[in-house]
Amino acid sequence: MFAVAGLLLGVAFQGGMFLFLIPFAGVAAALGYMNLPRVPGGKTASLPVVGSAVKATGISPAVTPELKNSFDDSASEYNEPGSTLRVNQVWARADADVKKAFSDMLEGLKRVVPNVHSLVLFSPLNSMKEWGMRAYACTNPDVRIASDVKITENTGLISQLFRMDVSRLLEGDLSGGKQLLYYIDNPMVKSVVAVPMLDRGKNRVGALVMDSLYPNAFNQQTAQALTYIASTLYTLYFKSFVSAKNYIEQQQFSVLYHYQHQFFKNMTVKDVFRQIFEYVKGNIPFDRMMILALDRQNDNNLHQERVGHVVCCDGIDADQFVNKKFTLSDKGLAILALYHNRPVERTFNQSAFNAYIPRIDNQEKKNMEFRQLFVMPVPTETNAEQAELAICLESRRNDRYSEHEMNLLKAFAGVAGFAYARACQAEQDKDLATRDGLTGLINHRTLHENLRTEKIRADRQRYNIGVLMMDIDHFKSVNDTYGHPIGDVVIKGIASAISGEIRKEIDVVARYGGEEFVVGLVDTTADGMIETAERIRHAVMKLEFDVHQQEPLRVTVSIGAFLVTPEFHDMKKAVNYADQALYKAKEGGRNQVIQYTELPMEPAPVDDGIPVLSSSMKA
């Protein structure tokens, strides 16, 4: 474009009628300049911002005096994405460049066309039927121009260009002079030529007006030339819009690429949730954002209804939704998107105050401020019937989420779904390596790792750890009498009973092997350890197992206990001491709790080589 500008200027220097080429040279130079959008710091973007695909997009610039209308800051959101601030700066810089180019174009026309008094360019304001002044040039610097003037239908001479049957205005002898709306001092204009500015769909998106204080100052050739210049001005306008828009989208997709890269650096589900939250909060405006996740299924509940919960919520009334549980049968818009694996977009009528549509269920807090909702499902498999995750965005504006934001979130959801499936598989593989497949409890190896970790923490904070070793009494006879399937049912039932009597998020429980279990009680006392052991023993005694006989099967457990004080450091030896106490409980009649107590170094009585043990009585 710079080469074309130089060529046109060279021809224009020949003089005469070729002087009309000067504005076109200016447009060519401006197009070349505008095709290099600048970041807020003033540096030129290193990536091309207008590709060959632009011609096929069919996009049109916004119908406002600015280059954009989709980033209106009149209503602030709960979050302020950093990307939004940068986007506004890009739009402002591009718009300033366009205004400068338009002003230079009009100034050049004013100098080469004889008897011109003023040139004015109009473009739409809030609608296609309301135009405002975009740029102007006047030969008399003392003339005052009403830059805030609005041209609507039936508001003067220029408004005739709203009519589809009017392709130009050419007035050469306005009797007594004409007052035009864009003047404050109202000079007596004698000649006017004006043409509409048309977009790519031939819609009227503005007007280019030239006036003179002399009669018959313009002719048909002037009007025709003005038509070409108006078309060129729109091309500059459109090119600048597309260039800025593409630059913004490239920056946003660059951020998306960064998160794609981060997804492949971690293998945990919590990290995936955190990165989804960080990306949405940093790049897409909202007044409330929720991340919903269906709980993962296992082989035992494949035929049960899917349930899930809100893993994250930020914004208005967030405390009402965090960890909120739901099922796929709940009647909410977010649940609908999950169930059908389809995006859901709703704009709520401001006057419909009694028509609240639940996001999750009918028990949630109803907030009538929200005007737009967009839910993007996050499937983990292509063409899946249901999505595993969903991102729900809500805004108090009814035009907050445009096609661009929706496409951006759709691209992000595709990557997030893959990362989530990958993290779930990694955690499942880890569970298979660290957990017992029958009971879901941690296994022998993982138990010792966890006990070592807890011991380090206990030494730092100076508290005790209670170790319980327990064994199912007469379990071999259960297997021999009722079979191994019933034996598995017994083991699972006892594992569940043990887990129900300890602090799930604090204490440690493991299937040690066969019919043996080990519990690590964090931050306890000797009395607390024995009390918990007795609760477990009683809970097991209450269990009843259906063996298809007249009486249900009941079992008991024997328990050995050892209290690890801060002065004791060998956790493997602690488990061994608890095992020795278990042996004594078995030997002493079963269904009881025996505590192993280390004796002082002085001579002490021994029984079969094992230190004397203190025991609790049978229940």
- Residue linked to tokens 């604090």: 506
Q: Helix (H, G, I), strand (E, B), or coil: what is residue 376?
A: strand
Catalytic residue check, 403: no
Neighbours of 370 (CB within 10 A): 22
- Nearest to 334, CA basis, from 79, 326, 397: 326
**Two structure tokens written together for 523:** 């931050």
Neighbours of 281 (CB within 10 A): 19
Distances (CA, A) of 452 to 508, 526, 571: 12, 20, 7
How far apart are alpha carbons 611 and 606 in whole angstroms?
5
Half-sphere exposure (CA, 13 Å, Cβ side) for 13? 6
Exposed, middle or buried: residue 305 (CB in 10 Å: 0-12, 13-18, 19+)? exposed
Which residues, 6+ apart, have CB-to-CB distance to 202 below 8 Å?
none
**Two structure tokens written together for 30:** 């401006």
Neighbours of 70 (CB within 10 A): 15
- Nearest to 28, CA basis, from 12, 40, 39: 12
Exposed, middle or buried: residue 547 (CB in 10 Å: 0-12, 13-18, 19+)? middle
How far apart are alpha carbons 81 and 99 in whole angstroms?
28
Cα-flanking dihedrals φ and ψ of residue 6, to 5°?
A: -65, -40
Q: Helix (H, G, I), strand (E, B), or coil: what is residue 164?
A: coil
**Two structure tokens written together for 288:** 């409330």
How far apart are alpha carbons 122 and 262 in whole angstroms?
47
- Nearest to 338, CA basis, from 311, 305, 376, 312: 376
Catalytically annotated residue among 77, 405, 454, 515: 515
Single-letter amino acid, residue 397: R
Which residues are tagged catalytic?
A: 515
